[in-house]
Amino acid sequence: MAKVRTAILISGGGSNMEALIAASRRPDYPAEIVLVVASNHKAGGIAKAKAAGIAAISFDHKAHDREGLERAVNAELEKASIELVCLAGWMRLLSPYLIGQWHNRMINIHPSLLPDFKGLHTHRRALEAGKSEHGCTVHFVRQDVDSGPIIGQAKVPVLPGDTEETLAARVLLEEHKLYPHALELVASGRVRVEGDEIVRA
């Protein structure tokens, strides 16, 4: 079985990237991580990707406008014959250009149970809202931020005395399990999009 050539886009330390790379080492895993792209030269995930034997490149996002950066990134994705893109802490808002290039071939992980708490500071907002449950979501990317057909979610309880940090740490553990599972579903064809609806095989 030919594995789906997958790229990961990061801006920071790349902990979800590491989880995806680890899962992709399984012989029966349907995706192969062949490229990591960072939006800044200081992203800690670059060294981790290279240490794992994966090609990694970085850009200085300050040297480009949004679409200019995306065109440069897209050129690298095409050069590497990428078939599927995973956003794993890519902290740049995407323009219609890149989203259009990768329609239904780009997925993202977000640290909340969407549609709750789109955007930033999700853990603080969950605590302020008095939620009893919180979690993470993997979804196909659409132009509206943190929207798009949902592939999967994982929930955690909000415990008495939780802080942003303790809640974030509990959610992150679930992210590291959910994202590899979601990528496996998409790369294997067990999850696809028709119209704007998820179809499960």
Paired with 133 in beta bridges are: 157
From the list 61, 64, 110, 176, the catalytic residue is 110
Contact 31, 4 (CB under 8 A): yes
Q: Alpha helix (H) ranges present in the chain?
A: 15-24, 45-51, 66-79, 96-101, 122-128, 164-187
Quick check: is 64 catalytic? no
HSE-CB for 58 with a 13 A CA cutoff: 18
Rounded to an integer, what is the distance from CA 101 to the centroid of its chain? 17
Contact 107, 31 (CB under 8 A): no
Q: Phi and psi dihedrals of 63, rounded to 5? A: -90, 0
Q: Interior CA angle at 195 toward 112 and 180, to 5°?
A: 40
The catalytic site residues sit at 110
